[in-house]
Amino acid sequence: MFDILFPSASSIAVITLLSLACGILLSLAKVLLKVEKDPRIDKIVESLPGANCGACGFPGCVGYATHIVEKGAAINLCPVGSSDSAQKISQIMGIEADVMAKRIARVHCQGGINETKIRFMYDGPHSCTAAQLVMGGFKVCEFGCLGLGDCVRACPFNAIHLDKRGLPLVDAEKCTGCGNCVEACPRNIISLLDENIDVYMMCRNKQKAPVMKLGCSVGCTACRRCEKVCREEVFKDNPNVDTAIKVVDFLAVIDYELCINCGRCAEVCPQNVIDFKKVMVIKRETN
């Protein structure tokens, strides 16, 4: 017991020598096993916006830069930095930049507070995801926006907020196309579209019109007027294309590989469920 409480000088010396030896070995291992960091990684990180939003598919800007240098990841995956970052990275890596078009979040629902009906009073957490877990959501329409702002809270750029109708409103100038709002929405009513696309659907409901109208007054009724005008007017002289918009499962679906962005479908839609930026501007100016 005495030796344990009061170790001898020789024991202390042995322990000290062992500690010193371990320290020397660790120092040598650190030097010998050190992996030199490619200087291009830091240069690429400096070329990125530093948002660390993960929209590129990698864990932050450092993770993305590391994968570009070490794994050959594409240099145009950062939607925040867009073409500017891609051009800078191309110079660092010595490869040609294939710049992607800027993408903007689009909301595929126009069923706000006054246009939709409620199944029951929800008194849980102020979250769309939480509300969706309670009997599939408190709205009659099981496809529409719940309006509790998960997308707003997910946006790191303050590019989306809820309007007076309780619907997400995207600021195209601030939106970077990071996709965080898309991931946050439990009902998948937000998608990313190229900024040069002016026409898109504002409904996700795939129910027959009589059923759809029980919960929403502004959804797609599958009347096929959009399909007809596209076929008979837009592509009437093109034997290779039938139509760029078709009703599938009682919902009009736009094929952007064929769509020429003319907006005729939006003009004939009786429900105004197809948004067309140019037409909307004209209508506002007329009014």
Q: Are both 102-196 and 198-287 of the same fold?
A: yes
Q: How far apart are CA 266 and CA 54, in angstroms?
A: 35
- CATH number for the domain formed by residue range(s) 39-93: 1.10.15.40
- pLDDT of the residue at 285: 40
pTM: 0.75
Report the pLDDT value the prediction gives residue 280, as an integer from 0 to 100. Answer: 41
CATH code, residues 198-287: 3.30.70.20
Closest among 102, 148, 92, 146 to 125, alpha carbons compared: 148
102-196 CATH fold: Alpha-Beta Plaits (3.30.70)
Q: What is the pLDDT of residue 185?
A: 97
Boundaries of every domain in the chain: 39-93, 102-196, 198-287
Phi, psi of 255 (to 5 degrees): -95, 105
**Average pLDDT by stretches of 10, the chain with 287 residues:** 55 74 73 69 85 82 86 82 82 77 91 95 96 96 96 95 95 91 96 92 96 96 96 92 95 96 95 77 39
